[in-house]
A and B are shown apart, each in its own frame.
Chain A
Amino acid sequence: RKEVEQDPGPFNVPEGATVAFNCTYSNSASQSFFWYRQDCRKEPKLLMSVYSSGNEDGRFTAQLNRASQYISLLIRDSKLSDSATYLCVAGFDSWGKLQFGAGTQVVVTP
């Protein structure tokens, strides 16, 4: 079983719509969580960290549910430029390992 699991998608989203997807993690010792964005096999880039209280960055909102061990990402008012693969990441405070999910593909259509 993978440590971090994501629905691979694709999520086909009309421009301007809202899309949301989750990521589940199996290791309850995970302390920190992130969403990275990856365009077409280019390098991943940090989209946002995920805080316990939930956080928002412009059109993006991330939530953490420790009881059910999942994090979510919501994208409002989707733009064509939001088309990408979104990688969920879980990290541990005491050591340098990071666990990446396989990614959720989002395709925003005109």
Chain B
Amino acid sequence: EAQVTQNPRYLITVTGKKLTVTCSQNMNHEYMSWYRQDPGLGLRQIYYSMNVEVTDKGDVPEGYKVSRKEKRNFPLILESPSPNQTSLYFCASSATGGQPHLAKNIQYFGAGTRLSVL
């Protein structure tokens, strides 16, 4: 079954304790992206990746890191989480066939990770 898998689904942590949210897709998609969703603000893009070893900032990258060492994985790293990073996080992927302008094509989303930073 084609899917995007995020782990963990729920996480409660404390300020300053480094954490990683994993994202894996089994569709051989080139494009992957991370979003956060907050009430009234909608989904905001954190980082995206056009392919292996190619990442770029979205609209709200501060406080986050990503890496794309393998095509299927795109982990989101919070080196020193703060309470304002409490949010619902979604990972997404799409196929581009090597053409960046197709990154906007159908985005498949993971089930989301609810993060609370105390």
Residue ranges of A at the interface with B (Cβ–Cβ < 8 Å): 2, 4, 6, 8, 31-32, 34, 36, 41-46, 87, 91-103
Contact = CB atoms under 8 A, between A and B. Distances in A.
A46 B103 contact: no
17 contacts: A6-B42, A34-B104, A41-B112, A42-B111, A43-B110, A46-B107, A87-B42, A94-B100, A95-B100, A96-B31, A96-B33, A96-B48, A96-B50, A97-B48, A99-B45, A100-B42, A100-B43
Given A97-B58, A100-B42, A41 B88 contact: yes
Interface string B67-102: 000000000000000000000101000000000110
**Interface of chain A, helix or strand or loop or mixed?**
loop
Contacts, number: 66
Given A34-B104, A98-B33, A98-B45, 15 more contacts: A31-B101, A41-B88, A43-B111, A44-B109, A87-B42, A93-B101, A95-B103, A96-B31, A96-B100, A97-B58, A100-B35, A100-B43, A100-B45, A102-B42, A103-B42
B32 to A, nearest CB: 9
